[in-house]
């Protein structure tokens, strides 16, 4: 038994799995004094996905085609690589084929429109950029479709006839914000519904299941998130009594950028960034490229590319400059600064990622300004409200 590990007196299946995970991770965590991000290998791994047919193992992700494109492009861009040459052949053509005339994007051919792949499709088009990519999106039918998903209690269903949860709300509002489609009708009652999602632990559930206290929301959420970081491995788990997992480096760790900005100047660090960095670089970094769940987990590594986003923690700090903004403009008030006082390896540095939308910061504004005319947008919204999904595609 390693001296850092405290043995649980009461042995349960969960405790046993936790002990096994710690024993597996410790050799990786202690092997290197200064682990580094192997950018060259990761770039080659992502490049292989962008330029070659995917292996048969990816058949299980047939309903996640836009996600594969988004994960790969986002990681590739964050590592400082240009995505322009993959704009038309690998992105615009693939994603435009998944757009439905009735609005939204599907996850695969012949499937219904779904908010999750719609989010991934829009973000991928935003990352590759260009007017051609932006004009691929039929904003009028997309807005009408999202409004059909809107529920009377303020929530959204993930697809027509589907379940309603916080994922659907996030995807709907992220897409609407980025595409300049936010309206009072779209967000009516949504903030109240989200406030009802906080659980007795302080975390946020997928849908309301317990009474929450809005006044303590950020304080309680911070407390719950603090318990998600493992003292031994240094990574995050997704739920109470669950094992550490590389992908939660973003899903949980990304929350800290938001909380830190709201809570202001904090002298005591909220999380152990060095421990998180070591966990990602030693336990999640795969020898042939890509990031995995943890050692001995040989899953499809492309979905772990979101962990690259967490590398921004080591070189950037985030602030939200304005609290009162026009509807839909809140996501554009985030700014990042280099943490000069932090000494990190050059190879560990990646580009800044937006803490809300999860795309590179430098890809943010062009798509929002297309079409750029405010009068044009107001005319569009007026037509949508009065004519519904019959409106032709914007040009």
Q: What is the pLDDT along the chain (395 residues), one digit of tens a residue?
A: 554 555 667 778 888 888 888 888 888 888 888 888 888 988 998 999 899 998 888 888 899 999 999 989 988 998 889 998 888 777 999 999 999 999 999 999 999 999 999 999 999 999 998 889 999 999 999 999 999 999 999 999 999 999 998 888 889 998 998 998 989 999 999 888 887 887 776 667 777 764 333 222 333 344 444 445 566 665 666 556 666 665 666 666 667 677 777 666 666 666 777 777 788 888 878 888 877 777 876 655 554 555 455 555 555 666 766 666 677 777 787 777 765 444 445 566 778 888 778 888 888 878 877 765 344 454 555 555 554 444 434 33
Residue 264 falls inside a structural domain: yes
Residue 7 lies in a domain: no
In a domain, 207, yes or no: no
Per-residue model confidence (pLDDT) at position 316: 64
Residue 210 token pair: 């317990």
Residue 221: other Cβ atoms inside 10 A: 18
What pLDDT does residue 341 have? 44
pLDDT, residue 236, reads: 62
Domain boundaries, position 166: 36-195+228-390
Give the span between the Cα atoms of 170 and 116, in whole angstroms. Answer: 9
- Note the pTM of the prediction, 2 decimals: 0.79
The whole-number pLDDT of residue 253 equals 66
Say how far apart CA 183 and CA 177 lie, in whole Å: 10
Whether 395 maps to a domain, the answer reads no
Structural domains in the chain (count): 1
The token pair at 388 is: 């519904």
Main-chain dihedrals φ then ψ at residue 153, nearest 5 degrees: -85, 5
Asked whether the beta carbons of 312 and 349 are under 8 A apart, the reply is no
Cα–Cα distances in Å, from 340 out to 317, 344, 362, 392?
Answer: 10, 10, 20, 50
Instruction: Answer whether residue 258 is part of any domain.
Output: yes
Instruction: Give CA–CA dist 44/56, Å, rounded.
Output: 20
Short-list 143, 138, 198, CA closest to 176: 143
Vertex 270, ends 269 and 273: CA angle to 5°? Answer: 70
Q: What are phi and psi of 319, to 5 degrees?
A: -135, 150
Among the listed residues 23, 79, 46, the one whose alpha carbon sits nearest the alpha carbon of residue 283: 23
Q: Quote the CA–CA distance of 20 and 392 in Å, as a whole number.
A: 58
- Backbone dihedral angles phi then psi of residue 334, each to the nearest 5 degrees: -85, 135
For residue 148, the surrounding DSSP H or E stretch is helix 139-149
Report the CATH number at residue 42: 1.50.10.20
For residue 2, is it within any domain?
no
Q: What is the pLDDT of residue 70?
A: 92
| Residue partners of 261: CB distance under 8 A and separation at least 6 | 318, 319, 320, 334, 355
113 with 66: CB under 8 angstroms? Answer: no
Sign of the Cα torsion 163, 164, 170, 176 reads positive
pLDDT score for 100: 98
- The secondary element (H helix, E strand) that includes residue 365 is helix 365-368
Task: Establish if 218 belongs to a structural domain.
Answer: no
Query: How many residues belong to the chain?
Result: 395
Position 4 in a domain: no
Q: What is the pLDDT of residue 334?
A: 78
């Amino acid at each position: 038994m390693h001296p850092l590990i405290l043995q649980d007196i009461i042995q349960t299946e969960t405790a046993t799995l936790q002990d096994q995970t710690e024993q597996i991770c410790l050799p990786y965590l202690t092997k290197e004094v200064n682990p580094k991000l192997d950018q060259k290998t990761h770039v080659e791994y992502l490049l292989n996905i962008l330029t070659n047919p995917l292996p048969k193992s990816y058949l299980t992700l047939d309903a996640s085609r836009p996600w594969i494109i988004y994960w790969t492009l986002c990681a590739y861009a964050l590592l400082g690589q240009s995505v322009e040459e993959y704009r038309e052949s690998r992105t615009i053509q693939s994603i435009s084929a998944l757009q439905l005339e009735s609005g939204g994007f599907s996850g695969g051919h012949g499937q219904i429109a779904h908010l999750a792949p719609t989010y991934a499709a829009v973000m991928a088009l935003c990352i590759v950029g260009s007017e051609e990519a932006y004009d691929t999106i039929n904003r009028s039918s997309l807005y009408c479709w999202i409004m059909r998903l809107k529920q009377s209690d303020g929530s959204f269903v993930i697809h027509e006839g589907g379940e309603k949860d916080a994922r659907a709300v996030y995807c709907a509002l992220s897409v609407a914000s980025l595409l300049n489609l936010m309206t009072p009708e779209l967000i009516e009652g949504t903030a109240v519904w989200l406030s009802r999602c906080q659980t007795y632990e302080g975390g946020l559930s997928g849908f309301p299941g317990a009474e929450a206290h809005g006044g303590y929301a950020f304080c309680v959420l911070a407390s719950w998130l603090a318990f998600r970081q493992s003292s031994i491995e240094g990574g995050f788990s997704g739920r109470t009594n669950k094992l550490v997992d590389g992908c939660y480096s973003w899903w949980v760790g990304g929350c800290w950028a938001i909380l830190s900005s709201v809570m202001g100047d904090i002298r005591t660090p909220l999380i152990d960034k060095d421990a998180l960095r070591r966990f990602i670089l030693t336990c999640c970094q795969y020898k042939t490229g890509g990031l995995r769940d943890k050692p001995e987990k040989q899953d499809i590594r492309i979905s772990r590319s979101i962990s690259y986003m967490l590398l921004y923690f080591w070189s950037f700090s985030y602030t939200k400059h304005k609290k009162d903004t026009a509807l839909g403009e809140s996501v554009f008030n985030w700014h990042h600064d280099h943490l000069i006082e932090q000494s990190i390896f050059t190879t560990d540095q990646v580009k800044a990622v937006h803490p809300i939308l999860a795309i590179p910061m430098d890809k943010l504004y062009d798509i929002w300004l297309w079409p750029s005319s405010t009068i044009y947008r107001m005319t569009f919204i007026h037509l949508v409200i009065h004519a519904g999904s019959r409106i032709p595609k914007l040009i």
